[in-house]
Amino acid sequence: MSPFPHLNSDQRQAVIATEGRVLILAGAGSGKTSVLAYRIAYLLQSLKIEPEAILGLTFTNKAAQEMRERVARIVGVKLAKKLTLSTFHSFCMQLLRKEIHHLGYTNNFTLYTEKEVRRIALQVTKNLLEHEGELPSLEEALKKITQIKNKGLNSTDLEIITWHDQFCQDLYTRLESCLCAYNAVDFDSLLSLSVTLFEKYKMQMLPYQKRYRYIMIDEYQDTNPIQYRLAELLSARHQNLCVVGDDDQSIYGWRGAEIKNILGFESKTTIKLEQNYRSTPTILQAANAVIAHNQNRHNKQLWSNAEQGELIHLFHAPTELEEAQSVIQRMIKLKRDKKIPWKEMAILYRSNLLARSFELALMQAVWQKQDNWVRGIPYQVFGGTEFYERAEIKDLLAYLRLIVNTLDQEALLRVINTPRRGISDQTLKILTEFNRKSDISLWDLLEQIASPLSSELKQHLPHKALNAICCFTNLITTARDQFSNLSLPEALTWLIETIDYKKAIADEAKSEKMRDFRWENVMYCVDMMTIYEEEKRLNKQQEEISLSDFLSTALLDQREEFTHTKKADDDHVNLITFHSAKGLEFTACFLVGIEDHIIPHEKSLFETGLEEERRLMYVAMTRAKEYLCLSMARQRKKMGKDLTTNPSRFLLEIPKQLVKISSWQTI
């Protein structure tokens, strides 16, 4: 009788294949976590391997903790506690605490955050200004340094072609000198210093090679060159290295992961886990058909013993607004007819920018809860900040609130020096202290200061602050007139341009990508006003169009209702990016914005990223257990303009017999 009757034959083979280099290709939903847990249990109980000889490495503390808990349920907590199951970075931290003195540090080194490293880099940059021409973005330079470290290279290994490269090399060299002088290590250096230690001081590596006789690495497709090198060094003595992963789910090339690590892994034994325990055969057949178009992959075919399941739903809406509304109506129908809870439904998208229209549609949705009609569906955004909680949107809304109501002191304090206009914290302190002692509002106080009449308070404020206050009060007064005389989108555009908010974002953004992302959020706020006015006119409610109505009806009221209901254990719809959805599963998934230049992303069309985009589509499709819906919009707003879109080329790779095409209005 099999010692693991609840495992399938491939899973059992993976559990007992303990010797040599083993590659376990674990397809989506194939039970790899259970396999790893039973593999460790088999080593401990059947082969009597001491727990101290087993090393398990993964990428998140959550995954490491889940693995430990699963093993503990099989072998007991006491034995499981003796195992070394951790992330790469946690393992290297413990290693360096004992051995880093060989590299010129002391063992009580400090781990610096990215912000702390950036502050040092800013100081260092001041000494590198002798280069001619424009300095490269500091964030881009730091990103390049991270890439170099993750490849296991030193500053001297950087190829110097332009003076920008020379700047990066100089910055890297001086940063490392500063960190060493401060006895500090940054996050990326935990791995690179560990590899340097093992390669430079081989005697220090021997105890670790002797101790860890059995090494397992989860999510191996996500490893970068330095993690690959570390694994090879640790396993060199016993050669019992088991790597588990799925090349079809390698979606982090943009942050340094190299799919060639799993594609080129030299193994004594290769085992494929292809039986899926998550999705219906219909969903699996569609996902298999899409991923089969990739050239660089191990051949795998996911399959399931479950019932065939319903066809994949597909619809094409006229605009992103109708797409969002149609998706929400389908979700309401699933909840009503199939009793699927909100928390078992997910809206998945390639870019966070696509979440906005769905957040708005969820807040405005009307649905029946028991015998009552309810406005607003609770939701939670994963992998990013909710749209209305983003700093740039809070800034703009604060301006709009102040324009509508100058007594809104919270809004006033948020924008009085945003963007920076010369009103210091000390000036604000003087103003708020005087405001607390007086009977007038802070806005009225500002107007008094800005007036030509004399004021006692003017004597306590610097000349620069007085000018800035005059400009600020004039701005808000003029803005009131603009919002009275222009359309809302035109007035908001005037405000954004007048305060030069684009420059403010550029000055604050940590990278070009973040700058573009934040600016697109600002432009979408203009788009929301356009949509608001279009809806009002469509419903023949032109007379109600106003800034006050926009804030209260379309945004803030519904948002506040939702905020109070959103808790971790609440029943809520999940809004999540394709990347963040990896490892999760839901009964019903709605993949939205399935259009060329979104998925695949427009940048992948000009680079070698098309296959990774297809893997991303595959990952998103295989999150669905029973119900999968794909949607598009014929027109989508981008940077304030209506653009015509084309369906994603990946849709053409799904067999027609697996798809049910419906009108966006057909629910």
Q: Which residues are catalytic?
A: 32-33, 218-219, 249, 623
How far apart (Å, rounded) are the C-alpha atoms in residues 278 and 259? 25
**R_g over Cα of the chain:** 29
Burial (Cβ within 10 Å: 0-12, 13-18, ≥19) of residue 426: exposed
Cα distances (angstroms) measured from residue 653 to each of 366, 527, 649? 36, 33, 7
Tokens of residue 449, six digits? 């200061």
562 φ, ψ (degrees, to nearest 5)? -65, -40
DSSP class of residue 605 equals G
Secondary structure of residue 56 in the 3-state scheme: strand
Cα distances (angstroms) measured from residue 392 to each of 42, 264, 308, 399? 53, 45, 47, 11
326 φ, ψ (degrees, to nearest 5)? -65, -40
Give the long-range contacts of residues 649-654, CB within 8 A, separation 24 or more.
Answer: 649/596, 649/600, 650/290, 650/594, 650/599, 650/600, 650/613, 650/614, 650/617, 651/314, 651/594, 653/289, 653/290, 653/292, 653/293, 654/286, 654/289, 654/290, 654/312
How far apart (Å, rounded) are the C-alpha atoms in residues 329 and 134? 52
Do the bridges between strand 372-375 and strand 586-591 make them parallel or antiparallel, or are there none, so unpaired? unpaired
Which residue type does 393 have?
Answer: I
**DSSP string spanning 306-359?**
S---PPEEEEEEEEHHHHHHHHHHHHHHHHHHH---GGGEEEEESSGGGHHHHH
How far apart (Å, rounded) are the C-alpha atoms in residues 120 and 114? 10
Cα distances (angstroms) measured from residue 296 to each of 13, 473, 609? 26, 61, 12
Tokens of residue 616, six digits? 């991303």
Tokens of residue 178, six digits? 């500063």
How far apart (Å, rounded) are the C-alpha atoms in residues 407 and 175? 48
Which positions ≥6 away from 82 have C-beta within 8 Å? 50, 51, 52
Which residue type does 379 have?
Answer: Y
Give the annotated binding-site residues for ATP: 26-33
How far apart (Å, rounded) are the C-alpha atoms in residues 663 and 107? 65
Alpha helices in 51-137 (DSSP H): 61-75, 77-80, 88-99, 114-125
Give the annotated binding-site residues: 26-33
